[in-house]
Each structure stands twice: as structure tokens, then as C-alpha cells.
Amino acid sequence: MKRDLQLRCWILMMVMSFIGTSSMFGQTLKHSYTFEDGTANDVVGNVDASLNGEAVVEEGALVLTGGFASLYATDINIASYESVTIEALFSQEAGLTGNRSLFSFGETLDVGWAKGVNYLYYQPSRGTTDSRFAIGTGNTDDPWNTESYVATGIVTNTNMHHFVGVVTATEIKMYLDGSLIGSETLSGTNAISAISTDTLYLGDLVFTGDPNWRGSIHEFNIYDGEMPQATVEQRTSDFIGAQMTDATLAEFTANVGELVLTPEYIEADDLYELYVPFGTTSVDLNIVPNIDGVSITIADALGNEYPDGVIAFSGDGVDLEIQVVALDGSTQIDYYLSIFLNPETESADLAEIQFSAGALTTEFDPEVLEYTAIVPYGTTSVDVTGIAAWEGADVAGNGAVSFTDGTGSITLTVTSQDQSNTKEYVISLYVSEVTTGQNYYIQHESSELVMGESGDETNYIRIYNALKDETTQLFQFEESGVEGEYYLKNGENKYVTLTAESVSTWDMVMTETLTTTLDSCRFRLIEFEPGRFRILTVARDEFGGKYVGTNGTTVEGGIYSDKYIDNELAVWNIKVPSEVVAPYDSYLGELALSVGTLYPEFDPFVNEYRAVLPVGTESVDITAVARDITSNVSGGDEVSVTAEGGAITITVTASDPTYSSEYVINYQVDTELTLKHSYTFADGTANDMVGTAHGTVVGGSISEGVYTADELGEYIELPAGEIAINTYPSITLELYVTDEINTLNANTNTMLTYFGATNSDNNYGVNYLFTSMKCRAAVSALNLGSPWGSEQGYSTEANLQDDGSQHHVVSTINNDSICLYVDGYFIGRTLFSADNKIFNLSNELAYIMKGGYTGDNTFLGSVLEYNIYSGLMDAQTIAIRAGDYPIEDAASDATLSDLVVDELTIEGFDPATLSYTVLVPQGTTAVPSISGIAKIAGASVVVNEAGDLSGATTIEVTAEDTETTVIYTINFDFSTDFDVVEENAAKVYPTVSEGNFWVKTSGGVCKVSVYDMSGRVVLQTIEENELQSIDIPNAGLYLVKVECGGTSKVFKVIKK
């Protein structure tokens, strides 16, 4: 079915190619992801998706089981569309709830939690009731309160669905399975032009704390323009037309008895029987159609309907008719079900379990045989009584349970009246450790941080590291006047309460008095397992999301009252202080340096720091003050430091010396501006003229001191591990560059220089520092999912790509900021976040003309010089150097124009490649004859022949300046291939002569070049003759190079 639609799309695209760029149907397909080729590539545009986490492409679909796909939204640039249509064909995992997005455009802000802003999303399941298509832009405070959206009932099944969402300049529309759900006028600041081009996710939301969507996306399309309703309906028919007449069931089960039917057993007009235990008065039927949206009616013989599938009955059972009408409104299948009770004398079920104190943690079900019960704090024994469903059954084991170390258990055995059936119910009992009037830390299970008040002007509650005797973090549960409901009061005598609805419906703050609406201050503690609690906000009891939890696990993250019962971030452990904090405090309360900066900022719970000290620092005064005045601090005061860097250890020992903590400061001393690595290309290679971090040329050419990349895929790779950029205290990167005038650089993210890594999960550059001609210098570190979202740098207002001019580009970087200079002018400075630091960069990759995002083009243009410095270049020096462009003559070029082995040019020869391996036939003992021709006539060439095949022949080329030297190394290995030497029909004879030499070829155009031993060309001809005469005027040793039909051969001759 899907492939049929793709054929139609192909035909449509072919027709469109004849009528220009306008669309026949009001929309133009710009980006399409069909997943048919086993990839997440864009089959129309060029913005391929990257897979993250548990995301795979298989069987023509993007399958998401916890992961997501991400796209470079900048290249899609949805904000540039006047109207947009988003189309998706999807099937999702059954029973999803929560705010799960099939796709989302937008941006994530780090405000202590991951807040999405300037977004457009579709959520098949939002909460427990809705399916929503929404736009929220222009409001970065609370965009969820100003969204424009269209909503319908939640999608919970696994059927195939066709979604189409349209946003125009004035309204937002949503179609689902061919039906127009509705349209709403865009309100306030909501507009396409304001949608962020930062991020596009498939299966995730820019509120990254929300759960990922799970299921399969079979196709995802983005159109420029509005898709008309008729086209939507036709595409729905093409996608899922066969579903319109399908009235079959995918699942038909009951919560009791043995009714488990699958499609292969379901037939129209069949009668099914369900036998349930004696005493049953209600049965939940789970009827799931194969196609969502069909009409299902359940009724008994009296015409009573059961719309929710809960069948309540009395007596000995009930007869039901289940009528299923397909989406076409006429196709109908009827199913019949009779429910019967098993004989009472066979019943070995309990009807309930009674406790003199406490209760089960789960609802009682006669078919479930193992339970947990929790009894109140201080209970020493409890009476447990099992009540049989049939009074004639025998229940053994009822009685008192005494607790040892807070635990106990009991087994209740039920035997049917006719002795044919027996059941054992096992109950494990625990005494709760939580009571009123006791100080507790309310510990967040996922993060092990504790609830505390922020102390901000709006005194929100957040999660923090636990501090000993910290009254803002110690809570008591206070009786509220309603059984099982409590006030939460901290050591400052403040109460946790919901904020007013005018602020939000889920934030919570600390207040000094109880609110007039007491339910806003009341909470239920639900101990669902021993020591594990959910905290329910009474005022939100009617909502699906009513549990207290967080959006993440970071320190100072917010706490909210809108979490669903299955949210792992809404589980709490309530512990006495001794279970959370040590009895003695061995933390620092203050740590500071007299000079330099600590990274990160001091936090008593962070034990390791980095520091960069000013140039020339020989000692530093360290202020280290313990939080507890009875603790002893050692290792502080004045400490000597070395220019090489090192570590300073501060030890805090409590009054009880068995409790201590160490704080380590790893320091560096900044340097004066020091050139560490320089690539001038003056010698014809990408060698490092200062250090030994020599570059490898991957395509492109070097001529007269300039490296040029003319084709995509050409760049220079540098040994990133040797450069070790993340060990620098500060950095200056300097480039003299010229870009080509072409369309391949324009508006793309081509990079001039790059240090960092590539995340193999999504092919994004990560932990990087780059410069580009957009023109931009930026850093992003410790964000592997959407690194551009946390990227910080500075850009020029003008894009300098493709202007064909020479430019001087300098970026200076320390751990606080990055500065950009272009052509001697200061462009701007950007401060860094806590993550974007030099020491967090990766030493995995380093490039010239290439970046770490594998989907980005390489840069096209020329680099005259690239310099890497330790230290910061000042503005005056930058301005001077901007006018001092490097000009190279050939005097320092020490490369070869040809490298010859046994009269043949070595395979794969490139002047910038300095090491080769030559294969020789098995059994060879003689070292092959090696010779080289200098590129520049004034350079000298010296061949140092290997003693045997286990050694290496070297060719040392000294440039005309007599200072620059390049050494080529030729190693030897034995070949298993008999065709080692490439055949060439050319011959030169005689090899020693007082007269002319003859060159014989197999015909065609051939070029003959004669070189003296300095590499100078003394004679050159291009002939089509099979035999030609060569007259060398002066006596001496010469090399004759014959090039015919793409092959070359070199001969040594002597003129007497």
C-alpha cells in the first residue's frame, strides 16, 4: 500500500518537473523520509536524519523504542515558509500516555530544567486524554499557556494512522486519518516565522525531560504550502484505504476468566462463553479493533449499554451482543458473549482480605495470590482475616501477625466446599517507617538529591544535595484533619503548597502560612513498596498528572505536581537524617583562589576542580574554610605552583577523624602567546613547521605555499592527539584563507578548522571548537544529543563564504569566553557556560577544511597559513598580522614532482605524501632502484639507498633556500601478486651514448621530459611518433621520463 503511494508521488513529481516550481495541489514536497532504503535519509532534499539511542530503520520504517531521530533544522528552515504542511504515517506502541511527541521543531533552554520554546509539535498522546498539534512561539516564559492548537482524543492503539498538520500565516489545522479535526486561529505571538530552526526531533520533544514517543514512523514529509483537504483525503485513502471496511477485532479479552481471543479465532455471528469465578459481579471487557475509530456498541438482552466495557451484573450471569461498525459506516460484524458463574461449591477464592491496621499496596484481585501490605508506624502486630467468596469454603491461616525488625508474613489457604480446588494467598507485611512529628529528608530516588526550598523571591521547591542539619531540607508530616492527608512543613516552619492557578497549575512553593484552600497544602503519601513513595497533591486529584516529581536529576532542578503514576522521576524515599548525611560534617563552606578562576564554581559537593592561573604565577593563596568550625583544613594557605601545572589537594577532617573529604584543584599556568603548531605549506607539504604534528593531505593540492581544495571531500587531517587542544590553558587560532566563489559553501555549515569528535550514534560533531567562513567561531561540549543547542560562539553579520577574497580569521579562546576577529577587526565576544570549556574538548579529531558533522560539506577554497598558539593574541598584534599576508616563493619548496621505482612512478605518488611501501616479488633480494625529481629546479635531491629489503630508502630534498628539508621514506614488502610491476611499452636506447638517444613507444601522444640531477627540465617534447630522437647537448647523468596513455616510465641515461 505504501509503495503504491510512493509510485503516485513519483508520477506527481515527474509531472511537477514539467511545470516549474509551482505545485499542482498547493504544496511542494521539500523533505521526505520514506525509510524504504534502510536509512533515515532525505529522499527529496539533502537533510538526512541521524539516529539516537534505541532508534533503528528496519522494514521500511523508523522504529523507536526509547530513542529518537534528529535533523539539522537550520537547513530545513521552516521559519522561511509562508505556510507549511507536515505529514506522517505512523503506528505507535499500545497504551502510551504522557506528553510524547511524534515530532517537534523548536529550541531547548536550560533554565534548571529543559524548557522548550518557539516550537511546533504533534503529540498522538498528550497526558491521558488528548492528541494535540500545537505551535508556541514568542513566549519563552510559559509558552504552554499561550499555545495555538487543535486537539482530539488520545491515540492509544497500535493501528496505522495518517496525520497531516497545516500551519498558515493565520491558522493551524489538523487532520487525522483523513478527517479534518479542526482549525484554530493563530493567537498572540504564534507564527511560522518565529519557529526556531535549532532542532527537529522525530520521537522526542524540545521539552527533553518529557518521555520519548515509542512506535514506528513509516513516512514523514515536509511541504512548502498548504495541502488541500481533498488531497489529504486521497492520500489517507492511498495509505490506509483498506482499513475503511475493516470491522474485525485485534483483541478481545476479559479481566477474569479465560476469554482470550485473537483475530484468527474471531468470526462474525459466533457465540462465545466466559466462565468467571463464583461471586464475580463485574467483568472488564477489553475490546480492541484492528482499526481505530470504528464504532463499538456493547448491550445486553434488555438493551442496556455498557460504553466503557465494564459489565456489571447480578445473579448467574449475562448475555451480551457486541456490534462493531467499520469506518465506512455500513460494514458491520456482530459478536455474542455469554458470561456464566462457576458453581459456588468449586470456589476457592477470597472475596477480600481485612486488616486491623494498614492495607494492601495494590487492589485486591481473587486471581492474584501474592500481596504486600504496609501497616502504620509503630505497629507491633496486626490481625489478618481472609473472607471467602463462598461461605461454604474453608479459610485457614487467619490470625495475628507479629513483626520482627518491621516485617512479617502470613499465608491464607482457601479450600472449596467440594474439596476440588485450593488456593494459597501469601501476604508480606511491612511496618512503615514514616510518621508525624519526625524530621525526614524527602529524597528523590532517581537523583538521590533531597527536597528543599530555594529561598528565591518566589520560594519554589527544588532538589539539592543533602546538608547536615539544614532546616530548609528537613521536613515533617503534619496531620491535616483528613485521614491519610498531610501538610509538609520544613524546619523553617514553612509549608509546601501549590501556586495559584494564575501562576501555573503545577508549580509548588514554600509559604509561611497555610492557604485558605487547604487542599492546595494537603498531600497523600502512597507507599507502594516498602520505603518507596508517591506523593499525590490533593488539589490535583482529578487530574491524570497529580504526583510530585521532577523533570530531571540535576541539582536545583524544579519539583512539580503534574507527573503521571508511571513516571520514574516521581518516586521518593523518605529517610531519617542518619540514612542520608554523615553525623560529622567534613565539607568545605568556602574555597577561593587569590588569582585565577575555579572551574566549576565552588560547590561543597564537588570535590575536583580546574584552575587557570595568570601568566608567570609562582604561588597562589588558597582560602579554604570548613562548613563546620570544629573541622580541620589542611593543604591551603600559600601554595607554590610550577609553570608545568599540577594538583593541589585540600583535606577537611571532621572532629571525628574517621570522617574526612578531599578537594583537588588541577591547575595550569597560562602562557605568553606561544606558537605551538604552524602549517605554512611552504615546503609543499602539510608538515608542522614548529612542532611535529604533521598533517595528512586527503585530496587537494599544495602549490607555492598554498593548500587548495577544489572538490568536495578534500581536506587535511591533523594528529589531534598530539596537538592535544584540551590541554591548553588558552588558545589562539589564526588562519589566512581564500574561499572559492561557488554555491557549495554558501549557506552551509562548512568548517575551516575543527577540533573535537563525532558521535557515532548520530554522526554529529561533539565536544568541539571550530571556525567557519559564515563567519563564526564556536564551542560546544558535553552535549551529545543536540550539540548545536548548547553551542556558544560569535558570528559576523555578513557571511564571508563565496566572496572569493582573502581573509585573516583569528579566534581567541580561554575557559571564560571566545572572541572572533576578521581582517584585523574585533567582531565580538561570547561568554561560556559551565560545560563549554577548553578542558571538555575532545582530542579525537582535528581538521583543516572539514568538520565533525559527517553530513556537512568540506570547505572549498585555499589556506595560505594556519597557526595554533598557546596563549591569547592581543588585538594590536592581530591588527598588524591581518595586513601581513604570507607570500611564498618557491625557495622553500622541498617536495618532489616525481618519485620513481625501477623506472616507474611509484603508485599513488603525491608530493605531500612522505611515506610509501613498495611491493616486490617473492624471492627478490636486490633493493629496487629509487630516484626522485625535485619540483623546484634549485632544490637538491639525495638518495640514501637501503642496505637490504628490511630497511628503507630515503630521499632527502633540500629546498633552494638550503634550510627547508623534506624526507621521503620508501619501505619494502613482499607481494603475493605476480603483477607487481606495471608494464609500459616505452623504451629508451642506448642508455650510454656520445650521440642521440631514441625513444620508442607503442604509439599515441607521448610526453618525453629530460631532467638533470638537480631536477631541472632540460628538454621536453610531446610527440605522436612511435620513434623519436632525443638530443641532449651536455655530458652528464640524466633522467628521461616517458608518459603515455596515463602511465609513465623513467630511464637513466648517460651522455658522454
Task: Give pLDDT tens digits for 378-391.
Answer: 999 999 999 999 99
Q: Residue 169 sits in a domain of what CATH number? A: 2.60.120.200
Which domain, by its residues, includes 719? Answer: 674-883
Does the pLDDT value for residue 937 go beyond 90?
no
Same domain, 231 and 333: no
Distances (CA, A) of 70 to 85, 546, 787: 19, 31, 11
Q: 667 falls in which pLDDT band (50, 70, 90)?
A: very high
Q: 797 falls in which pLDDT band (50, 70, 90)?
A: low
Q: What are phi and psi of 55, to 5 degrees?
A: -135, 125
pLDDT of 416:
96
Read off the DSSP letter of residue 787. G
Q: How many Å apart are CA 543 and CA 127, to the nearest integer?
A: 9
Does the pLDDT value for residue 334 go beyond 80?
yes
5: three-class secondary structure by DSSP: helix
307-311: long-range contacts (C-beta < 8 A, 24 or more apart)? 309/284, 309/285, 310/282, 310/283, 310/284, 310/285, 311/282, 311/283, 311/284, 311/285, 311/339
Same domain, 447 and 485: yes
Q: How many Å apart are CA 162 and CA 407, to the nearest integer?
A: 54
Q: Residue 1052 sits in a domain of what CATH number? A: 2.60.40.1930
Does the pLDDT value for residue 799 go beyond 90?
no
Average of per-residue pLDDT across 563-572: 94
pLDDT of 803:
64
pLDDT tens profile 529-555: 999 999 999 998 888 889 999 999 999
Domain end marker among 518, 551, 579: 579
Domain end marker among 342, 364, 394: 342
Average of per-residue pLDDT across 827-833: 93
Domain end marker among 387, 411, 431: 431
Average of per-residue pLDDT across 61-79: 90
Q: Name the one residue in this structure whose C-alpha cell is 508521488.
A: 9
In SS3 terms, 628-673 reads as: CCCCEEECCEEEECCCCCEEEEEEEECCCCCCEEEEEEEEEECCCC
Average of per-residue pLDDT across 445-461: 95
Q: How many Å apart are CA 198 and CA 884, to the nearest integer?
A: 38
Which percentage of the chain shows pLDDT scores above 70? 93
Same domain, 758 and 895: no
pLDDT tens profile 140-161: 999 999 999 999 999 887 888 9
Element containing residue 770 per DSSP (H, E): strand 764-772
pLDDT of 266:
56
Average of per-residue pLDDT across 46-71: 89
pTM given for the model: 0.60
> Which has the minimum average pLDDT: 102-106, 235-239, 1008-1012?
1008-1012
Q: How many Å apart are CA 384 and CA 401, to the nearest integer?
A: 7
Distances (CA, A) of 550 to 140, 459, 532, 570: 20, 16, 16, 7
In the chain, how many domains are there? 8
Q: 313 falls in which pLDDT band (50, 70, 90)?
A: very high
pLDDT tens profile 268-293: 557 788 988 888 889 999 998 888 77
pLDDT of 981:
38
Same domain, 154 and 260: no
278: three-class secondary structure by DSSP: coil
Average of per-residue pLDDT across 757-761: 85
Read off the DSSP letter of residue 342. P
Does the pLDDT value for residue 2 go beyond 60?
no
| Sign, CA torsion 498/502/503/504 | positive
Same domain, 68 and 137: yes
Read off the DSSP letter of residue 492. T
Does the pLDDT value for residue 1014 go beyond 70?
no
User: Hey, what amino acid is at 83?
Assistant: S
Does the pLDDT value for residue 1013 go beyond 70?
no
Same domain, 148 and 209: yes
Q: 6 falls in which pLDDT band (50, 70, 90)?
A: very low
Does the pLDDT value for residue 809 go beyond 60?
yes
Same domain, 967 and 994: no
Nearest to 267 by CA among 285, 252, 277: 252
Half-sphere exposure of 892 (CA within 13 A, CB side): 17
Nearest to 717 by CA among 843, 810, 850: 850
What is the spatial order of strands in the sheet that 310-312 belongs to? 260-261, 249-254, 282-289, 310-312
pLDDT tens profile 857-899: 888 889 999 999 999 999 999 999 998 877 666 677 888 888 8
Same domain, 829 and 701: yes
Same domain, 859 and 920: no
Q: 733 falls in which pLDDT band (50, 70, 90)?
A: very high
Same domain, 740 and 783: yes
Distances (CA, A) of 133 to 176, 182, 510, 1029: 10, 10, 35, 83
pLDDT tens profile 948-989: 988 999 999 998 888 888 898 999 887 654 343 344 467 887
Same domain, 893 and 838: no
> Which has the minimum average pLDDT: 64-73, 235-244, 530-539?
235-244
276: three-class secondary structure by DSSP: strand
Same domain, 215 and 264: no
- Asked if 494 contacts 487 with a C-beta cutoff of 8 angstroms, the reply is no
Terminal Cα distance for the chain, rounded:
83
Q: 501 falls in which pLDDT band (50, 70, 90)?
A: low
pLDDT tens profile 173-194: 999 988 999 999 999 999 999 9
pLDDT of 1056:
78
Nearest to 806 by CA among 829, 823, 793: 823
